[in-house]
Amino acid sequence: MDAPPFPAAAIAGACAAVKAYLRIEGSAGDAALTQAVQSALTLGEAFTGTAWIARDWQAWLTRSPDWQRLPMAPVTAIGAVEAVDAGGAASPLPAAAYAIDLDARGEGWVRLAPGGPQRVRVTFAAGTAPGWEQLPSPLAQGVVLLAAHLIEGRADPGAPPAAVVAFWRPWRRLQLMAGVRRSCWSS
């Protein structure tokens, strides 16, 4: 699953925070700064296993009688559930052909009815915060430190600051089991 791009407003807010931290004025290095911020946000989400900035995601599921966990959390809404044929054409599944669930941990689950389509695309919204300004301080500070490290260490990249992991570790989600719940299908 490829992560959807971050909203432009979130990137701009993070860039402003990094510029303030590094005391950068002007726009001479904005392209490199934007790339460093995008990398820091992407690495942060990958490290914690959560979506930080709310946006729409897509997941591909295959026919299975089990509940299948959506690959990103916290899920705030599950939208379209569509069958996708071999040619790539999508058509909405009738509500009786699937079940959805959002659990207390913010994980989204989808269960497909037996005999349904082979490939299904699920569109869902996931994110901890609606934008950069609402992102919890430890996550934002880790992004700023990592982006600053990437900018300052372009000529001699070393290990990122240990503080980045210290900020992000409490937010990390670990999966101890595969993303499948077993149950019998009932109408």
pLDDT tens, position by position, 95-105: 999 999 999 98
47 and 26 in one domain? yes
Taking residues 73-93, report their average pLDDT.
Answer: 93
Taking residues 33-37, report their average pLDDT.
Answer: 96
Res. 124: pLDDT tops 50? yes
Percent with pLDDT over 70 in the chain = 91
47 and 135 in one domain? yes
Say what the pLDDT of residue 65 is: 84
In a domain, residue 1? The reply is: no
Structural domain tally of the chain?
2
Q: Compute the distance between CA of residue 163 and CA of residue 158 in angstroms, rounded to an integer.
A: 14
Say what the pLDDT of residue 180 is: 52
In a domain, residue 167? The reply is: yes
Q: Compute the distance between CA of residue 22 and CA of residue 32 in angstroms, rounded to an integer.
A: 14
Res. 182: pLDDT tops 60? no
Say what the pLDDT of residue 184 is: 47
Task: Please tell me the pTM assigned to this model.
Answer: 0.84
45 and 65 in one domain? no
155 and 68 in one domain? no
Beta-bridge mates of residue 115: none
* Residue 78, domain extent: 55-126
- Whether the link from the prior residue into 74 is cis, omega within 30° of 0, is yes
| Whether the Cβ atoms of residue 45 and residue 52 lie closer than 8 Å to each other | yes
In a domain, residue 2? The reply is: no
